Structure 1
Amino acid sequence: MATRKMRLGMSMRGIGYHPAAWRHPDVPADGTLRIDHYVRNAQTAERGLFDMIFFADGIAIREKDLPRGSLARSGFELAEMEPLTLLPALAMVTKHVGLVTTASTTYNEPYHLARKFATLDLISHGRAGWNIVTSWSDAEGRNFNRDKHLDYDTRYERAAEFVEVVKGLWDSWEPGALVYDRESGVFYDESRMHELNHVGKHFKVKGPLNVAEMPQGRPVLFQAGAAGQGRDIAAQHAEVIYAAQDTIGDAKTYYDDVKGRLARHGRDWDDLKIMPALRPVVGRTRAEAQAKFDELQELLDPMVGLARLYNEFGDLSGFDLDGQVPEPQGEPQVRSGAEHILARARRHNLTIRQLGRQLAGEGNSCVIGTAADVVDRMEEWFTGGACDGFNITPNVLPGGCDDFVELVTPELQRRGLFRTAYEGRTLRENLGLKPHVNRYEAARRAAAAE
């Protein structure tokens, strides 16, 4: 029996997840707008045998300029390429690595989105994946004729119907429907083309989709939802989840809960891969890794740190940055969160500057150390039943991707946790997912078997 292997995604949004990444001397500050930057990272991830590269995406500048002037010093998620336009270009300079991006169910129409991802799957020969999100910010709503973002229940209700419509459109053409028979003059088999004729609360879509014969049958479905309704949608539809738990205990609880919901939707335990975020800072020695992290922290503008404190503490720009963290200035957005952070600051005698740096640059998903240290953490979670792999969110690009492929990938392979070559041609095959079976083809087979 084959040994279970870890799944890996490289999150390639922008120039890294640390808000001071753009100031690092080895990072192209304008990399978010340069195709060569993305090409280099995609090819490095493929050299490291990653299952996929992943683009988080937002359709607005969602960070607030609070305190005033902090946004201009951040350089994080401000100006970047649109990923569904970018990924076809990256498909032409890679052969194996999956190509996954976020697209919102709130600010798209199902037919439009189904067509784009189907086309990406054709261009990439079967490497497309859609990360399903509902979006979350009022800033996005204001770019699409809304003063406020849709309420939570409406967003998820719309998302559930949206995904059903997209899946139905992707099944419009059974395998072999396009016969291209020049002699008979028949272009397609009418019995194998299907109109969807969907009529629901949020959408009315006739179909069929005017894209067909996707190499994977359909793109792989991803989701990042962790709330109750999000978990239900994931258990019904998702094939990969990007999770964000802080501890192995919380991760295992989440893993068991979501996987435990699969059976009610007629799905098996391994039909869904769960991949929490991991932010490794790796060096050949622990001292080297720590120095890399410390260098970034020193580059962090104090205003950016104050912005990370704003929701819990209000505007602290008038206080001494090297003084004690004060009580919240006004009512915090989440009182318990503010109390927890303040208690930590007092316990460790942190200044405002130090606390801002911690919140901006650190997190429980951050692991600083040698390749062995990083893999120890990964192996503990993987073998402990807390995940099926990880979504790597490097502090800086390209350096974080380079370091992982050069140092961590060989250690994973040495321990037998990760592949030494790609197993298949498509993203679905490399993830170890079952082949997609067209719903009409399945019904045809069932009828024939009666």
Structure 2
Amino acid sequence: MTLFIADEIHWYEADGARIVATIIKDRPDSEFSGIILARDEKERYRWISSTDFFKSKIEARAALRSKINEIIPNLERKRLQGDNNLKPVDFFTPLEKTKQPLNPSFLSLTTLEGYSPAKEIIEPMMRWYEDADGNFIEQFQTTGFDSRIWELYLFSLFTEAGYSIDKSSAIPDFCCSGIPGKFSVEATTVNASRDKKGNIVPPPTISTKEEFMAVQRDYFPIKFAGPLTDKLKKRYWERENVSGKPFILAIQDFHTPIAMTISRDALPTYLYGIREAENSTQENPAYETIEFHKWGEKTIPSNFFSLDGAENISAVIFNSSATISKFNRIGLQSGFGSNRTRLQRFGTAYINGTVTEYNHRVSEYSKPEMWSEGLEVFHNPRAIHPLRMEMLPGAAHHFLMDTGAIESWLPAWQPIQSFIKITVEQTPEETESNLTT
């Protein structure tokens, strides 16, 4: 409700970032005040003091500076909240009591300088993430790294959109409440297939255009179908904390390292049971109905939203660029990590509705990337509780029309594929040493 009361105007940090502070503008009276936050016992930034209200920003800023200087000598006492006795959770030190090997992506995040922006932005974020089911850290470090990164992304997305997240229950993953309304979300991921012995089954080889079209037509839809239908069977909408409001399934594709960059078009194919016809063009799209998807010995019905019970699913959301690289980019833009890390981003995007290639350097001075960037919302035409577009601002929204066509509302910039090149700039001494070696 504070979003109704005031706007954040400026942010500051002091004493080596042990203090962060903001100047707000009160909406009813147009007056300015300063709010000061410091890390509590669990290293979470929380309110410790504030200034009076003033008619001008200059007066509020002077009062804020004075108040901060007054607090710094007593910060260790002032920062204590007294409402918990728990120590900060260490997310990055490998657990000693685990039978699973550490995930290679976790090792990269914790040991490689090129990923330091992601590591340093995740650390303060995780202080606020409530581990409702009690196994977040172990899974984050071992078998569930991708799934946990997806959940952290969703936590960031909903927080950015101004929602309060109720984690009092472990099921579903998110119960969000904000000015636009309330909704619940269950997260899931597409993972690598395994045989009866637990060995990973390699994905199909894609070396020709025909092979790519084949996996788009049937293999990728079947991969999406598995986790989505598993979640459908659990009937979350019958739970008291979900019933009566929009319910969303959030899915990300991690079945290969670059799967999410090539499988996106297969998701609406499976959800709506349609695909673009051969005579379809960007100016005049045409669609044909699909009844089944078949790959090898496996056959499944298409059109997820038509399945029994699916009317209780308001939408399915997906973001091809919501991986550890997104944390790295936003972390770098926010001033986290090594100042030697360099990121070059490239791929394809809808720019003002036209598919265009892009290639740019990510820096503190480039246009800030939002957590909502790249988010795709596929609305269920049969939803009992439809999700309004304004509930997830900044996303691309897709609707199946009565004509059988998909209508899309796109932001001016909407990435389709996103790749990142990471380099760590060497000092002259390091360069000379490498040349000598």
Structure with higher strand content: 2
Q: Normalising by structure 2, what TM-score?
A: 0.29
Which structure has the higher relative contact order (CA within 8 Å, separation 6+)? 1
Q: Normalising by structure 1, what TM-score?
A: 0.29
